[in-house]
Structure 1
Amino acid sequence: MNKPFSPHPASFRDPAGFIFIRNDVLYRQINPSGLSDYQGFVDSKLYKELTNRNWLIPHQDVTSDFASADESVVIKPQLIPYVSYPYEWCFSQLKAAALLTLNIQLLSLQHGFSLKDASAYNVQFVDCAPFFIDTLSFAAYSEGHWPAYRQFCQHFLAPLLLIKHTDFRLMSLANNYIDGIPLDLASKLLPRRTWLSLSALMHIHLHANSQSRYADVRAKPLAKVQSMSRQKLIALIENLKNYVETLELGQRQTEWGNYYHNNDYDDGQAQQKGDILKGFCEQMTATLGLAADIGSNSGYYTKIISDKARHVVAFDIDFQAIEYLYRDAKETGNNILPLLLDLTNPSPAIGWGNDERSSFFQRANFDTVVMLAIIHHLVIGNNVPMAKVAESLFQICDQYLVIEFVGKQDSQVKRMLSTREDIFTDYSSESFEKHFTDYFSLRSRVPLDNSQRVMYLFEKPASN
C-alpha cells in the first residue's frame, strides 16, 4: 500500500509501521517489513489473551477501507480518551505501567514472542487502568535475547527508585531524556544505601557501568543477557517484577496533601460548594465526553464531575495529592485519570523537531474545564495576568467552564499578600468577569456564604 497519509510526528522510528490520522481518526499502518511478526502475533493465542486481560488496546483490521498498492495492512486501534506521558504520572501509575510491561513480556515468552522495546510511552491509561498500545512491539522470540532490558531500566526502574529514595521531582528528568533516564546518572543520584540492594545493584548500578554515551549494544551486561537461556531470561524478568512489586512510597506530607483540612473552609461551605457544582453540572445540556479538573487536590470535587462525564482528567501540581487520588480512584473504579500538572509550566513538546511528544496545550481538548480555588495562585502567586488565564482556559475548553473566584479579603489571599507588595490592581471580581466574558458567555454566578468566593459557570459561544 502506498502511504495514504504522512506518519504522525511521533511515529517514525520503527520501520515496521507507523500511525497516521485521517479525518480525526487514528490508524496504524503495518509495512511489508513488519508483516511477518504482526501476522504471527495477531494469529496467535497471545493477542487474544492480552486483549481479554485488558492489557493491550484492541484494534480492527480496516485494510479494505484503503486502496492497496502493496501488502501493507491498516488497523484502527481503540481510542484512548486522553494521552498522557510518564513525567505526568505519579509513583503508583509508573509502577503499574512497569508491572504491565513485565507481565506482558513474561506472557509473550510463554507464547514464543518477546517485546522489541520497553518504552514507557507504549503504555497509556484509560481512567486508572494501564494499557499497552504498541501492536508492533511484539516479535518472534530469539533465544536468550531481550534488547529492551536497558530501556526498561531507564524508563521505569530508574525513575521509580529516584522517586522512592531521593525526590519525586526527579521524575521530571524523564522530560529531558526521551529514551529514559541514563543509568549512570540515576546511579549517581541514588543514595549509597541502594548499593546494598542486590536488585538495585544489578539492574541500576552495575548496569550503569556498561552505559556509554551512545549506549553501545556490545556492552558487557547486555552481552550477558544475550547469552542467557530462555529459562534464565524468564528468571531475570521475574526478578525485575518481584523487585518492582516491593517498591513503595513512604508517607510524605506536602503543602497541598491535606488541603481540605488546612484551609479556612468549614464543612458547611465545602458542602455548599459541592452542591453548587452539582447544580452547574445539571445545567449542562448533555453527558460530557471528557472533562478536566485543574487543581483537583485529592479529588473531592472531581468525583462530583465524574458523575456527569464519561472520563475526567484530574490535574494537580502536588505529587502526593495525585498519588492519593490515583490509589483511591483505582480502588473505587472511578472514571478518573489523575495527572501531574503545573499550569504555570506545563509539559512542553519534546523529541525530534519538538514533535514526538505533544505539549499539554496541544493535547488539552476538554468538553468541560473545572478550576476551583486556583485563580489567585495564578494571578497573585505567579503574576499571570487575568486576561492570559482567561485566554488559556478558552484554548483548552470546548463547551463549559466552571471556575471559582477568590477575592482579596479571603484569608488565603491575605496570607499571600502579607509578604509582598500588592501590585494587583486588576484583581477584582469585576475585572475577572470582564476578562472572562471576552471569551465566554456567563451562565450562572453563585457566591459562597460568608466568604469572598464566587462560583461561576461559563459557556463557550457556539460561534467560536
Structure 2
Amino acid sequence: MISETPLSTARPEPGSFRDPANQVFYVGDQVLRGMDPQAAEDWQTISGGAFLPPLIAAGKVIGTETADLTDLPEAAGRWTTVLRHERVPFVSYPYEWSFAMLRDAARLHLEILQAALADGVTMRDGSAYNLQWRGAEPVFIDVGSFQPGGDGEPWAGYRQFCQTMLYPLLLQAHLDLDFQPWLRARIDGIESGQMRRLFSGTRRLRAGVLKHVHLHDAMQARNASATTGAVRAEIRDAGFSRELVQATVRAVAKLVDRLDWAPARSHWVNYQQTCTYSPADRDAKTAFVDAELASSRPGLVFDLGANDGTYSRLAARHARYVVAVESDPAVVDTLYRDLRGARQNRILPILMDLADPSSGGGWAGTERAPFGTRARADTVLALAVIHHLAIGRNVPLPRILDWLLALLPTAPGPGAGQLIVEFVHPDDPMARQLLANKPAGLFADYHRPEFERLLTERCEITRREELPSGTRTLYVGTPRRA
C-alpha cells in the first residue's frame, strides 16, 4: 500500500520532465509515475501483453505495479494512472560506468526491445539513462517509453541508442579512448558528426562504423530540413516493415556482442601485489574494518578508492548495499566483470575521480544529480585515499574531511553515520613517493597530529589503531553536527 502522505509533499524527479504525459515523482521513499489519459491507455495495453510480465519477473525491467488512486487523492485530478516502481539502491549514470557495464546495459536494452517488437510494442527512447543497476545486474527503469507500435514505424530510439551507447562503445573498443568524459560533457551523448571525424580514412572500415556512423550521419544531414512526420512517411512508403526493424535490432545486438575492450595493465590493476602493505598490516586492517562494519550493520556503504573491491566485498557481508568508487577505468572494468561472474547484486562499482566527483548536469544543472546528493551513506570507507587527495592532488586536509563527512546523514545522534578513514603518515613509502614529486615544504601540515586535530574538531573518534608497520593509522569517527 502507498502511505497516506499527501501528494503536496511529492518531490518531482528532476530528470523526468521531457515527457509531460509520463512523469516520475517521489512520496517519502516511494518511486511513483504519473500518466495522462493517453499514456495510461498505452500502459493498460502494454502491461496486459505477453512480453512485459516475464521481463519484470526476471528482474530485467524494474518492478512495477498500479497504485490505488484512492490512496493518492491529490493525484486523481492530475494523473489518470499512477504506477509504483521498485526503488534502485543507488542511482548512477553512464559516464560512471565501465566499458563492460555500458555494453551489458546496451545488451539488455536491445533484448527488451526485441521482446517488445515481437509483441507489437516499440520504445520511443533509446537512452542509456533508462537503465540502472542492482549491483552488477542492469535493470531497465523507463516503462513509460513503451508504446504500441505500428507496421512501417522506424526504430524511434535508434539515434539515442547510438549517441549514448553504441558510439561510446565504438570509441573505446576501436580507438581505446575512454568514453566517460564525452558522456559527462554532453547529456545527449556523442553526435554522429563527431564520430565521423574521429573515424575517417581506414578507420571507417572497423566493425559497425560505416553503417552506424558514416551512413547514419549522411542520412541525418539529408533529412535535416524534413519534419519527423515526413521522414516517417517516407520510410513507410519505402516498404519499411516491422520485420526489417527486428532484423536491424538483431544486427545491432550482434555488433554490440562483438565489441570488447582489453585495457592495458596498470599499477592499480595489480595493487594488492604492488602495494606497500605487509601481511601483518593487511590482516590488522581487515580485522579493524570487519569489526566496525559487523558492529554497525550499515544500510549503505560508500567505499571510496575501492580499487579491486577487497573492502567492498568485506562491507557487503554486513551492509545492504555498497557503492565501490574507483578512478581507474581498467580497475573498475575488471571489478565489474568479477562481480558479474559472481552474480553479486549488492556491490555497484562506479568510475569516478574523487578529486573531480560527478557534478550536476543537464537542464539547469539538476537533471543529473551530483554524486554527493543522490544518497547519504551510513558508512564512508576512505582507506588509503587521503594521501592521494592531499599530496597527489593538492586538496587541503580540512576540505577532504568536510567532503567525506558531507556524504553521511545530516542529522546528529544515532544514525548519523560513521567515517572509517586511514591516514598514511608522511614517512610511509607511498607518501614519500608522492612527496618526492612535490616542492619541499609544500605539505608542512600533512602529519598525523594535524590530521587528528582536524578529525577531532569534526568527529567523535570512537576507535583508532596504528597498523603494525607504524606508518598508517585507522580511525572511526561519528560526525559532530552543529
Same fold (TM over 0.5): yes
Counterpart of 2:334? 324
Once residues 216 and 171 of structure 1 are traced to their aligned partners in structure 2, the CA distance between those partners, rounded to angstroms, is 31
Is the 1:29–1:72 contact (alpha carbons within 8 Å) kept by the matching residues of 2? yes
- Equivalent position to 1:201, from 186, 210, 226: 210
- Equivalent position to 2:423, from 402, 405, 409: 405
**1:149-298 correspondence to structure 2 within 5 Å:** 149-190=158-199, 192-197=201-206, 199-212=208-221, 227=238, 228-284=240-296, 287-298=297-308
Counterpart of 2:435? 417
| Cα shift at 1:432 | 1.0
TM-score, L = length of structure 2: 0.90
Counterpart of 1:90? 98
Amino acid across the alignment from 1:356: E
Amino acid across the alignment from 1:403: V
Is the 2:223–2:231 contact (alpha carbons within 8 Å) kept by the matching residues of 1? no
Once residues 14 and 340 of structure 1 are traced to their aligned partners in structure 2, the CA distance between those partners, rounded to angstroms, is 29
Once residues 82 and 457 of structure 2 are traced to their aligned partners in structure 1, the CA distance between those partners, rounded to angstroms, is 45
- Percent identity over the alignment is 33
| Cα shift at 1:390 | 1.0
- Alpha carbons of 1:6 and 1:435: their partners in 2 closer, same or farther (altered >3 Å)? closer
Once residues 100 and 57 of structure 1 are traced to their aligned partners in structure 2, the CA distance between those partners, rounded to angstroms, is 12
Counterpart of 2:372? 361
Is the 2:263–2:330 contact (alpha carbons within 8 Å) kept by the matching residues of 1? no
- Alpha carbons of 1:354 and 1:347: their partners in 2 closer, same or farther (altered >3 Å)? same
- Higher alpha-carbon deviation: 392-401 or 196-205: 196-205
- Alpha carbons of 1:456 and 1:353: their partners in 2 closer, same or farther (altered >3 Å)? same
Return 5+ residue gaps in structure 1 as ranges.
none
- Higher alpha-carbon deviation: 22-31 or 325-334: 22-31
Once residues 317 and 224 of structure 2 are traced to their aligned partners in structure 1, the CA distance between those partners, rounded to angstroms, is 48
Q: How many residues align?
A: 460
Amino acid across the alignment from 1:57: I
Is the 2:381–2:419 contact (alpha carbons within 8 Å) kept by the matching residues of 1? yes
1:221-251 CA-partner distances (Å, limit 9, x unpaired) = 9888665211111110000000101111124
- Alpha carbons of 1:106 and 1:77: their partners in 2 closer, same or farther (altered >3 Å)? same
TM-score, L = length of structure 1: 0.93
1:401-457 CA-partner distances (Å, limit 9, x unpaired) = 111100000111111111222311211111111112222211111111124101111
Is the 1:88–1:339 contact (alpha carbons within 8 Å) kept by the matching residues of 2? yes
- Alpha carbons of 1:240 and 1:182: their partners in 2 closer, same or farther (altered >3 Å)? same
| Cα shift at 1:70 | 6.0
- Equivalent position to 1:448, from 460, 467, 471: 467
- Higher alpha-carbon deviation: 314-323 or 390-399: 390-399
1:142-170 CA-partner distances (Å, limit 9, x unpaired) = 22321111111111110001112224433
Amino acid across the alignment from 2:218: N
Amino acid across the alignment from 1:92: A
| Cα shift at 1:213 | 12
Once residues 23 and 6 of structure 1 are traced to their aligned partners in structure 2, the CA distance between those partners, rounded to angstroms, is 9
Counterpart of 2:407? 396
Once residues 133 and 313 of structure 1 are traced to their aligned partners in structure 2, the CA distance between those partners, rounded to angstroms, is 19
| Cα shift at 1:194 | 3.8
DSSP-derived class of the 1:118 partner: coil
Counterpart of 2:414? none
Amino acid across the alignment from 2:146: F
Is the counterpart of residue 428 in structure 1 residue 447 in structure 2?
Answer: yes
Is the 1:445–1:457 contact (alpha carbons within 8 Å) kept by the matching residues of 2? yes
- Alpha carbons of 1:215 and 1:314: their partners in 2 closer, same or farther (altered >3 Å)? farther
Once residues 217 and 290 of structure 1 are traced to their aligned partners in structure 2, the CA distance between those partners, rounded to angstroms, is 50
- Alpha carbons of 1:213 and 1:169: their partners in 2 closer, same or farther (altered >3 Å)? farther
Amino acid across the alignment from 1:450: S
Is the counterpart of residue 115 in structure 1 residue 120 in structure 2?
Answer: no
Give the CA RMSD over aligned residues: 2.3
Once residues 222 and 269 of structure 1 are traced to their aligned partners in structure 2, the CA distance between those partners, rounded to angstroms, is 65
| Cα shift at 1:271 | 2.5
Once residues 479 and 234 of structure 2 are traced to their aligned partners in structure 1, the CA distance between those partners, rounded to angstroms, is 59
- Higher alpha-carbon deviation: 75-84 or 223-232: 223-232
Once residues 433 and 11 of structure 2 are traced to their aligned partners in structure 1, the CA distance between those partners, rounded to angstroms, is 53
Once residues 433 and 232 of structure 2 are traced to their aligned partners in structure 1, the CA distance between those partners, rounded to angstroms, is 56
| Cα shift at 1:77 | 0.5
Once residues 288 and 216 of structure 1 are traced to their aligned partners in structure 2, the CA distance between those partners, rounded to angstroms, is 56
